[in-house]
Amino acid sequence: MNSVLVLNGPNLRRLGTREPDVYGADTFDDLVALCRETGRRLDLHVDVRQTDDEAEMIGWIHQAADERLPVVLNPAAFTHYSYALRDALAQRTAPLVEVHISNPAAREEFRHTSVVAAVATGTIAGFGLISYVLALQAIAELLAEESRG
């Protein structure tokens, strides 16, 4: 069974109470359960983490690179300015899917730029928590492709 890290940046533990008109009423615990259940269906072991600390996030990215682990990443606010995170992600050794609950392109102008998108395998945004399901499905397909190829 392949392992996948699902990493979440600042404020995502506040899901359900933070701007429910933007992020919905589901909680972080709901997100964790959804990711784990999706992983079981896809034969993936899913490790879901959240941090408000940029250094901790970079440490997890280094771990993923060292262990050749695929990553589903919601960088949250780090998306728009963290060149340190972008540089860590550039060292990836497995698929990386950037994910967002809302559609950043349909929001405030400062959210339109992702400094991490250029080093990601792809980006999925705007589908609520289903964005994570789609990202995990993409990871599973990419891993299957690698094993065939």
Active-site residue (options: 23, 62, 83, 112)? 23
Active-site annotation holds for 45: no
Residue 80 annotated as binding? yes
* Phi, psi (deg, nearest 5) at residue 3: -100, 145
Active-site annotation holds for 62: no
Active-site residue (options: 62, 100, 112, 132)? 100
Angle at 140 between CA 129 and CA 88, to 5 degrees: 75
Residue 147 annotated as binding? no
Residue 87 annotated as binding? yes
Residue 112 annotated as binding? no
State the CB neighbour count (10 A cutoff) for residue 20. 11
CA distance linking residue 135 with residue 131, whole number of Å: 6
Evaluate whether 61 touches 89 at the Cβ level (below 8 Å).
yes
Evaluate whether 6 touches 49 at the Cβ level (below 8 Å).
yes
Q: What is the largest CA-CA distance in the chain?
A: 44
Helix (H, G, I), strand (E, B) or coil at 74: strand
Residue stretches of the annotated binding site for substrate? 74, 80, 87, 101-102, 111
Residue stretches of the annotated binding site? 74, 80, 87, 101-102, 111
Catalytic residues: 23, 100
